[in-house]
Amino acid sequence: MRVLVVEDHRDLQANIARFLEPDFQLDFASTGPEGLALALAHPYDVIVLDVMLPGMSGLQVCERYRQLAPRLVPILMLTARDTLEDKQEGFGAGADDYLVKPFSLRELRWRLEALARRPVPPSGRKLTLGGLTLEPESGQTHWGGRSVRLNRTEAFILRLLMEAAPEAVSAATLAQRLWGDDAPESSALRTHVYALRKALAGLGLEEAITTRRNEGYSLDAR
């Protein structure tokens, strides 16, 4: 597995390197611009981004990478900020997972392996529901002349909802399809669905995703 770690603390870089090598192929960057350049230049399996970085914040790097990158590579954010609002900001910027400092290196490894196992949206096939179009490989989503780029987790959730529409998909099914037996805390799915709702609202689909009591989530793109 090839992993990019964008972290400006040299001691933490060294600890990560000692723990994960030689099982992982690791590249390191110490600034936001350097990390963005490496992320765009190489086919990583997972990208690890510290939030507080010189030059560009991890959130800025994440947002810019999602705008420019042709592949939906999963991103794990590292930060000392642990409020729900902080996590929401990270997911909103395009992150797929969130790890709060200080953290166990064993947990970092487990999360990297879980992210790499997440299903990749199928390539070469557009999904259409009403006027909504999703390009699963890139995450590009179009409706009413507007477009937005989703991260891999958001694109996968939208794909499942589009394929099931107008039926609902249960939270348990979404979690199982996303994470298998490695599901994170229960609020993670709600946060990703919230971020997806926000992205669709930017297209003009404010009420597209409905929560059905005891059934799950359904999509209406009319």
- Mean pLDDT, to the nearest integer, of 209-214? 90
Residue percentage of the chain with pLDDT more than 70: 93
CB atoms within 10 A of CB 9: 14
Domains and their CATH numbers in the chain: 2-117 (3.40.50.2300), 127-219 (1.10.10.10)
Supply 165's token pair. Answer: 């529409």
Least confident of 57-66, 77-86, 104-113: 77-86
pLDDT digits (tens, 9 = 90+) for 122-154: 555 788 888 899 988 778 899 988 999 888 888
Tell whether the model's pLDDT for residue 18 goes beyond 80. Answer: yes
Q: What is the pLDDT of residue 11?
A: 95
Q: At what angle do helices 187-202 and 152-164 cross, to 10 degrees?
A: 80
As a whole number, the mean pLDDT across the chain is: 87
Side-chain half-sphere exposure of 12, counting CA atoms within 13 A: 19
Tell whether the model's pLDDT for residue 81 goes beyond 90. Answer: no
Q: What is the pLDDT of residue 119?
A: 63
pLDDT digits (tens, 9 = 90+) for 166-191: 899 998 888 888 877 666 666 778 88
